[in-house]
């Protein structure tokens, strides 16, 4: 049985959800961002109990199609940004339209209504989170990070980073190294 789960954004989320499923007595066949496949059907009462268990760490079971679509869009964006080799040669809007077989304007409107933020802002936020992780790891220069994440220039990355975080990438790196 496929279960769709809201708010899964990283590998730690996958581990937490898998752990919660196992504690609940389920045997997940797969656990991915936004979705799991378990070995049996769940009753309405079991779904309710599982949802209560998943809500404690901030997750939620999703039943409606619209929310599943939005979570799938978020998962697609996160996966593309976390795995830069998979970044398409097209824009995110073209990629999402192609993947979901819908006009981007429809996807964007639905996403904005439900999430309170545009797809573009969500993409920017995810890219900046990735930049932060790469800066903390300290394996790449800012120009390598800009190239990896398809920024047009280091200047563009720096401006966007400062706009979102309030500090420059260099300042961020300095602050995190002190801690």
pLDDT tens across 69-82, in order? 999 999 999 988 98
pLDDT at 132 over 70: yes
Q: What is the spatial distance between Cα 173 and Cα 166, in angstroms, rounded to a whole number?
A: 13
Architecture of domain 2-63: 2-Layer Sandwich (3.30)
Would you state the structure tokens that stand for residue 79, as one six-digit string? 């996966």
Distance CA 81, CA 167 (A): 21
What pLDDT shows up at residue 5? Answer: 93
| pLDDT reported for residue 141 | 92
Segment 149-176, tens digit of pLDDT: 889 999 999 999 999 999 999 999 988 8
The yes-or-no verdict on residue 87 having pLDDT over 80 is: no
- What are the two backbone dihedrals, phi and then psi, of residue 60, each rounded to the nearest 5 degrees? -160, 135
How much is the pTM? Answer: 0.78
pLDDT, position 88? 67
Residue 62, class by beta-carbon neighbours within 10 Å (0-12 exposed, 13-18 middle, 19+ buried)? buried
**86, two tokens:** 């998979």
* 3-class secondary structure, 38: strand
Which CATH entry fits the domain spanning 76-179: 1.10.8.60, 3.40.250.10, 1.10.10.60, 1.10.3720.10? 1.10.10.60
Q: 9: pLDDT confidence band, cut at 50, 70 and 90?
A: confident
Q: Are 76 and 99 in contact (CB under 8 A)?
A: yes
Residues in the chain: 179
**Residue range 40-59: mean pLDDT, rounded:** 94
Place of tokens 């199609």: 65
Is 70 exceeded by the pLDDT of residue 179? no
| Segment among 25-29, 53-57, 81-85, 133-137 with least mean pLDDT | 81-85
Domains of the chain by residue range:
2-63, 76-179
């Amino acid at each position: 049985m496929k279960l769709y789960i809201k708010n899964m954004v990283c590998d730690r989320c996958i581990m937490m959800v898998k752990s919660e499923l196992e504690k609940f007595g389920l045997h997940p066949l797969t656990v991915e961002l936004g979705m799991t496949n378990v070995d049996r059907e769940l009753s309405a009462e079991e779904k309710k109990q599982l949802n209560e268990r998943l809500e404690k760490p901030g997750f939620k079971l999703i039943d409606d199609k619209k929310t599943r679509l939005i979570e799938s869009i978020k998962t697609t964006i996160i996966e593309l940004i976390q795995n830069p080799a998979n970044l398409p040669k097209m824009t995110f809007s073209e990629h999402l339209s192609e993947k979901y077989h819908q006009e981007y304007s429809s996807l964007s409107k639905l996403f904005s209504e439900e999430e309170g933020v545009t797809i573009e802002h969500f993409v920017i936020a995810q890219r900046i989170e990735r930049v932060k992780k790469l800066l903390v790891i300290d394996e790449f220069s800012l120009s390598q990070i800009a190239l990896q994440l398809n920024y047009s220039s280091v200047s563009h990355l720096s401006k966007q980073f400062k706009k979102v975080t309030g500090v420059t990438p260099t300042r961020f790196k300095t602050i995190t190294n002190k801690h």
